Amino acid sequence: MKAIVQDEYGSPVTLHLRDVAKPEPGDKEVLIRVHAAAVHAGDWYLMQGNPYLMRLLFGFRKPRNGVPGWDVAGTVEAIGKDVTRFRPGDEVFGSCRATCAEYTIAREKSLAPKPANLSFEQAAGLAISGLTALQGLRDKGEVQPGQKVLINGASGGIGTYAIQIGKVLGAEVTGVCSTANVELVKSLGADHVVDYTAEDFTESGEHYDVIFDNVGNHSLSQIRKALTPKGILIPNGGGRGGRVLGAAGASLKELVVSLFVRHKLRPFVSTTKTDDLLALADLVAAGKVTPVVDRTFPLAETAAALTHVGEGHARGKVVIVV
């Protein structure tokens, strides 16, 4: 089968299209014929091996699994003997390793049926970013109806879901984005839009019950000025921290600061849960959440797709079509 392979950490030039062996599913795994795979900021950082702490998990000198990608949408090709929820031919979406390939394998619990009203390209970008928005606002932010919620990075992959999920939870949502993305953010349901090229939301005098920060372009002291006295900050900017510890170092600092202030600082990492995948699928089927696809690229142009992600201006999701 064809797959994108990376033999060393570095820039997109380290990615190559090659023939590799088709994977075989284990007892609790599903073999997927990949139709589409989304890429996001996490793939960009992992490609570079940055921060170095990441290498303890994924290979210190070079990637342990050289095929990038975590989001997938496709058709079930084969199942392990203990799989009960899927059959060959089922259309699915979810999260697993090595999705920039013609075939990949996933744990049964990391998949859900693809909503019938989504294309494979749309469904490919639903799992990781959608789960991050859902778990961030619902679980970490504990968003309640009528609360004021601000989404920094509202036009990105996570932000476009966060606006919609914030509205589902009954919040008054403010999105922060550039001038070019104001209309997109409004169209997703944001009650208010702040154009960061003209205004700094931390200096506006407005206060929010929950701030979901997907950018990390303000200091803690700056962003806390925009919180209500007992407001919640959910820092999720992957570029936070240095080259050694990265976001983990920033998260540690945020947790320490939270011990001494009334504000609640709640960094987190989303997890793939079957119930939450099904919840996302239900929201999509009901027309309450719609994935935003910025651009699609063929598998052979995965390097160009990651370059676009790395530039930091993608509107919604960037998708590889296989």
Q: By residue range, what is the domain housing residue 156?
A: 129-265
Same domain, 23 and 118: yes
Tokens of 298: 């063929």
Same domain, 146 and 254: yes
Same domain, 133 and 250: yes
User: Which segments within the chain are labelled E, that is strand?
Assistant: 2-6, 15-19, 29-39, 71-79, 91-95, 103-107, 111-113, 148-152, 172-177, 192-195, 208-213, 227-235, 264-265, 293-298, 317-321
CA 282 to CA 302: how far, in whole Å? 30
- pLDDT value of residue 246: 47
Region 181-202: mean pLDDT is: 97
Region 295-320: mean pLDDT is: 95
pLDDT digits (tens, 9 = 90+) for 64-95: 788 999 999 999 999 999 999 999 999 999 99
In a domain, 271, yes or no: no
Same domain, 115 and 145: no
Identify the H or E element spanning 305: helix 302-310
Total structural domains within the chain: 2
In a domain, 48, yes or no: yes
Beta bridge partners of 175: 151, 193
In a domain, 86, yes or no: yes
pTM: 0.92
In a domain, 205, yes or no: yes
Nearest to 168 by CA among 138, 192, 198: 138
Average pLDDT, the chain: 91
pLDDT digits (tens, 9 = 90+) for 30-70: 999 999 999 998 898 888 887 666 666 666 677 778 899 99
Same domain, 116 and 146: no
Buried b (16+ CB within 10 A) or exposed e, 112-131: bbbbeebebbbbbbbbbbbb
- pLDDT value of residue 72: 98
**pLDDT surpassing 80 at residue 24:** yes
Nearest to 273 by CA among 138, 121, 102, 95: 95
Same domain, 16 and 70: yes
CATH number at residue 298: 3.90.180.10
CATH number at residue 135: 3.40.50.720
Q: pLDDT band at residue 193, thresholds of 50, 70 and 90?
A: very high
